[in-house]
Amino acid sequence: MAEAHQAVAFQFTITPEGIDLQLSHEALRQVYLSGLRSWKKRIVRLKNNVITGVYPASPSSWLFVVIAILATMYTRSDPSMGLIAKIQEHLPASGSLSVQCQTVVSAVVFSTMLWLSLIFTMKLCLKQLLSYHGWMFEQRGNVSNTTKVWMMLVRIFSGRQPLLYSYQGSLPNLPVPAVKDTIRRYLESIRPLKSDSEFERVNTLAKEFEVSLGNRLQWYLKLKSMWASNYVSDWWEEYIYLRGRGPIMVNSNYYGMDFMYAIPTPIQAARAGNILHAVLMYRRKLNKEEIKPSRIPGTFIPLCSAQCERIFNTTRIPGEETGKTHTHTQTAVLVQVIQVPLISHKHKTVHHNSKYTVSEIRKALLPMSLSAFPRLPWAQARKEFFGSGVNKRSLDCIEKAAFFVTLEHEELDKKGDDPDITLDRYAKSLLHGKCYDRWFDKSFSVVIYKNGKNGLNAEHSWADAPVVSRMWEYVLATDCFHLGYNEEGHCKGDVNPSLPRPQRLTWDIPSQCQERLAQSLSVAQVLADDVDFHVFAFRDFGKGSIKKVKMSPDGFIQLALQLAFYRDRGMFCLTYEASMTRLFREGRTETVRSCTSESCEFLRAFENGEDVEVCRRFCRSASEKHQQLYRLAMTGAGIDRHLFCLYIVSKYLGIESPFLKEVFSEPWRLSTSQTPVQHLEMFDFVNYPEYLICGGGFGPVADDGYGVSYSLIGEDIITFHVSSKHSCPQTDSHKFGKQIRKALGDLLQLMTNNQKEASRSEQNHSPKPQSKKEL
């Protein structure tokens, strides 16, 4: 391990002759440089705050307004209609200034007020423009005149060269849907999953809720929406994540993978150096707000960037009732974890010829397992054993770190290994490791394997996957295509000999604490061993072929997942697809209920062998319905976040609602999420097919269900990460993966007229491409 210890700038010794003071010039120099860097950051932050505050105008526009007003006055015109004279009358130092100076000062004051008024008006106009979402519901190629005018106005009011947070003040607040609309959409979503008698029972509960308790709870939500930036996000973070009492390992955290087929260097230290350098480059750009704001792909519509504020130096801290997330702003500590064996002289964090006993190694690794435990025993152990002394100092170093790094002693993706088995083992390793070699509470942890393979594990409460994915894509592309390696596989450039040496953290773990940690570790190990993963790249076709049959790629894949589950289990199930609400300020996610009456109608017709044209019509209808639900979710008219907030208000009021209890008792047996590729321009999958980014995944949400994450890579590849539990006899991730492959091929064969193109889907996925750098 390593952390930045406090430098001792001076030492003193009391002698008979007096006090002998010894100053360390190097330490004082480092203190000076640290303070200098801190002031530079403050100045940059102040500058960015000014630029962001006046956006979509610019600070230089103030000078233009002042000059314009003064020039107008020079022509003996009064553009202020008497306001400049009024200001001049009330100047506090008018007696000591000449009349001409008073006039100039008054004009500058008026110009500033006019400039600020214009900025406020532009921000308000942009906010109103961004509140319009009609463009999203229009068919591609059939844009209305209203939307065309809107697009032109948005371009005018959007300004030029925005910083990362420039649009934050102009994003609209998330609207609160009407109770009757949410209930109507909810009942529509569960209709294909309920028998007639069950649906009638739930319908009765829903109608009673709508005319009675619903309106009362809605009043509180409307009040909150007027006061808060987002009526959902803070409660979502607290009650879905921070109040959860189970382990966050597997249940909450997610992972991101390295390139699927390529390892740029087999040298672990070199790969770690480049990856960490790239991460810190991103951090520097983030601190300077030089990263462009996220936008909806293919448009200029901005998305909320608030989650980016907590990418670095953020830790989830456990509590006995609820946890919290804390972001440190005054440290850039980097913590590295050296795995067993600790005696290796190749690792800079271990002294040469140092040896450790088994008990010492166990003592060093036990604290690592804390964050894999259920939250209550972790909080109790933290309070009892890590609240003071050396343990608190070491824990502070980890929690204040920019991020966490694990150097693994095992290899992944070795030459000759079965790629399917390797990917499955790779996913499990990133998700939970050995339960004691990851710090799951950090915002994200980078894992570097012995042969140079890498990946990350991310904590979920502070942000959602697209924010981390955007950073990780930048890191991978920068590592390989910008920083690179020399012919021997080492990092380019020279070593700086003046860098401070890393130091090991020390711990004092009493026997009582060791016993408690060992008990909790056994619980975490059972949870980890139960996870069944299957990761594969579907290379038969991708979104390019799907778009040729005039279907939404996401809608197509969701129908394929529905078909795969129906074939696997012989039933329909409540399906969760994560959408985003980042069109709104501090927006996070919303649920798209992908299993609809239209999709069920199509699946029955398709599996019963009905006429091809009938099946195609049903398929397009189901896809269009899915797209409609996705658009509604993105524009604040979803179902589940509104019902969730109504449920929270009912709990605050101490009122039990049979309807809300029914809603939140339904399991999500199929939980899905698409991870979009956001830096596609940084990769070249045609000329460098081995540098295929693989996306990431998450653990199963239901004990008897599947978790499916997928990414559309370029035009021809779709990657899938399928998770389930070994303990459930009804689930099998590999079996479900085969069903997904077959369902994708069957759907394309149904929808395309080119049977040659569709016939490729019946084959197994193509063998991985060979690379000169592949290991």
Integer CA distances (angstroms), 711 to 153, 440, 716, in order: 33, 24, 11
- Report the alpha-carbon angle 727-733-735, nearest 5: 115
The pairing of beta strand 670-674 with beta strand 696-698: unpaired
Q: Distance between CA atoms of 407 and 397, rounded to whole angstroms?
A: 18
Where helices occur in 479-576 by DSSP H, the ranges are: 511-529, 543-548, 553-569
Sign (positive/negative) of CA torsion 483, 485, 486, 487? negative
User: What is the residue type of 132?
Assistant: Y
CB burial readout 634-663, b (16+ within 10 A) else e: bbbbbbbbbbbbbbbbbeeeeeebebbeeb
Angle at which helices 597-607 and 553-569 cross, to 10°:
60
Q: In what order do the strands lie in the sheet with 717-725?
A: 531-538, 717-725, 706-713, 670-674, 575-580, 589-593
Integer CA distances (angstroms), 272 to 398, 405, 448, 599, in order: 18, 9, 6, 46
- Report the alpha-carbon angle 749-754-758, nearest 5: 35
The pairing of beta strand 334-338 with beta strand 531-538: unpaired
Which residues lie below 8 Å from residue 77, measured CB to CB, with a gap of 6+? none
User: What's the token pair of residue 3?
Assistant: 């952390």
Look-up of token digits 């947070």: 165
Look-up of token digits 């040496």: 501
Sign (positive/negative) of CA torsion 177, 180, 182, 188? negative
Integer CA distances (angstroms), 117 to 54, 57, 122, 173, 310, in order: 11, 11, 9, 22, 32
Helix (H, G, I), strand (E, B) or coil at 307: helix
User: What's the token pair of residue 674?
Assistant: 């698409």
Catalytic residue among 460, 534, 626, 721: 460
Query: Looking only at Cα atoms, what is the longest distance across the chain?
Result: 105
Annotated active-site residue 352? The verdict is no
DSSP lists the bridge partners of residue 724 as 532
Q: Which residues are catalytic?
A: 460
